[in-house]
Amino acid sequence: MASNIMSAAGVEGKTASIISSGLNITAGTALMFIPGTQALGASMIGSGIGGIAGGYISQALGYSFTTGAAIGSFAGAIIGGQVHKGIQASAALKAQPIGTPFNPNGTLTQIGVDPNTLTISRTLNPAKLSAVRTTINKSGMYGTIRVMQNGYIIDGNHRVAVARLLGIAVDVVIG
């Protein structure tokens, strides 16, 4: 609509499309900060980016900038909304516990503990992390993690870090 008004006021179609897309990006960004309007904001950002990209792609192919901008704007709005849905789904998966929380007052051996409920107690070596990840990817989690009563890891810091990355539970022994 802003593009049509600008065109009526004598603004060239390409310039009007770029301004309209910029307004979509700006308004969409503002909506991302208002609870409950993030999906609309993501669609508007996608629409703005798609409009600009579609216009230039269309122009490079020898067609009208404004037609490409209109098509790109529509496609970008759909893509922006889908990206937002994907991010929400990913956050929901991350929010779910991997196993049962570590219970400091529970039994000495606990099976299927969420590694995020344990405290890594030393600096991790990137080379060792890589080696442990390779082993776990090949053979699965190995051994039990030795922890103190408060959940601080005595032995198995690298395995717990990898378990967090891979989203797998660990077996724990206190003591």
- List the pLDDT tens digit at each of the 175 positions of the chain: 555 677 677 888 899 889 989 999 999 899 889 888 888 888 899 899 999 999 999 999 999 999 989 998 999 889 988 887 877 777 666 656 788 999 999 999 999 999 999 999 999 999 999 999 999 999 999 999 999 999 999 999 999 999 999 999 999 999 8
Tell me if 124 sits within 8 A of 158, measured CB to CB: yes
Q: Nearest 5 degrees, angle CA 14-CA 11-CA 27? A: 70
**pTM greater than 0.85 (yes/no):** no
Residues 6+ apart with CB under 8 A from 75: 50, 54
DSSP state of 32: T
pLDDT at 109: 95
CA distance readout (Å), 88 to 42, 60, 95, 167, 173: 12, 35, 11, 18, 35
Placement of tokens 């190995």 in the chain: 142
State residue 3's pLDDT score. Answer: 56
The confidence score (pLDDT) of residue 102 equals 95
DSSP for residue 144? P
d(CA 25, CA 80): 11
- pLDDT score for 95: 59
pLDDT at 13: 86
129 burial class (0-12, 13-18, 19+ CB within 10 angstroms)?
Answer: middle
